[in-house]
Structure 1
Amino acid sequence: MRRILVDPGSSSEILYKRAFLGMGFTLDQLRPVRVPLVGFDGMVIHSEGLIRLPLTASNGSHKSQVTLDFLVADVPSAYNMILGRSGLSALRAVPNTYHIVLKFPIPGGIGKIRGDQWQARECYVASLSATIAKGLESDSRPNQDVVPQDGQGQMETE
């Protein structure tokens, strides 16, 4: 899976509903949990539910796999998922935003996943554009904002 926001400030792992359904899952596979999620703008949405999935961080033969609980959120986003603190901790991964790389221990060394500067910029611009468009709409309909996000990494969920 591409277009993953690596966010050490996020307290949860989020899988967006569009990506969740695109992976072939159905909503009845979710464990019913309605967790309030608060965005940067203070807007609160509730999760659709929770699903436990394996996550593999890989770059060729260098890989690490963990199983994580993902909250599924039904909001528009340029990203497919957010990997937060608990996921980074489970992978024992260290993000480096300057070099757009995620490093994690593997047997016999350190695995690296390099981000794509062009794709990161594209996600940021798409999120910013959606936020501005929603902001213009929200002048007539309060509390309809979309949460802006930036950055990206590459992971796989199975």
Structure 2
Amino acid sequence: MKRVMVDQGSGAYIMYLDLFKGLNLKLEDLTAYNSPLIRFEGKAIIPKGQITLPMQSDPEVDFIVVHAYSPYTAIVTRPWLHALGAVSSTLYVKVKFPSGDQIEELVGSQSVARQCMTAAILH
């Protein structure tokens, strides 16, 4: 997955509809999720539903699927970082976590992070 935001201040896993469709998932795969979400600018979004998917860090993660503009494809959160035993750095756009007897590293791109931030601000 590209353009994934690591949000240390949230507990909700969000998946945007373009990634949902890109994974060849169908709306019939969703379960009901009836709570609206509030965007950064204060507008409410009604989720399409929720889907449980396996991830390497957790046996399963419940993603809330939304149809809204975002430069990101998904948002992962504190519980994901905690499950990995990870440390994230916004300065270096990295997440480091133990894996067996070594330290794994997920490296983002500062230029892509800047583009996403600019796109979100301009939208």
The answer to whether TM tops 0.5 is: yes
Give structure 2 stretches of 5+ with no counterpart. Answer: none
The structural deviation recorded for 1:40 is: 2.0
Residue aligning to 2:100: 107
* Structure 2: distance between partners of 1:83 and 1:36: 18
* Structure 2: distance between partners of 1:110 and 1:82: 23
Supply the AA of the counterpart residue of 2:40.
Answer: F
The structural deviation recorded for 1:99 is: 1.4
* Structure 2: distance between partners of 1:17 and 1:85: 22
Question: Which residue of 86, 106, 113 corresponds with 1:120?
Answer: 113
1:5-154 paired onto structure 2 within 5 Å: 5-56=5-56, 65-66=57-58, 67-130=60-123
Write out per-residue CA displacement over residues 73-95 of structure 1, whole angstroms, 9 at most, x where no aligned residue: 11011100001112222222221
Give structure 1 stretches of 5+ with no counterpart. Answer: 57-64, 131-158
Root mean square deviation of aligned Cα: 1.2
Q: How many residues align?
A: 122
SS of structure 2 residue aligned to 1:121: helix
* Structure 2: distance between partners of 1:49 and 1:83: 17
Alpha carbons of 1:88 and 1:35: their partners in 2 closer, same or farther (altered >3 Å)? Answer: farther
* Structure 2: distance between partners of 1:101 and 1:34: 34
Write out per-residue CA displacement over residues 102-158 of structure 1, whole angstroms, 9 at most, x where no aligned residue: 01110002111111011111111111121xxxxxxxxxxxxxxxxxxxxxxxxxxxx
SS of structure 2 residue aligned to 1:77: coil
Supply the AA of the counterpart residue of 1:82.
Answer: I
TM-score by length of 2: 0.92
Larger Rg: 1
Note if contact 2:92-2:110 (Cα within 8 Å) is conserved in structure 1. no
* Structure 2: distance between partners of 1:54 and 1:94: 21
TM-score by length of 1: 0.72
SS of structure 1 residue aligned to 2:55: strand
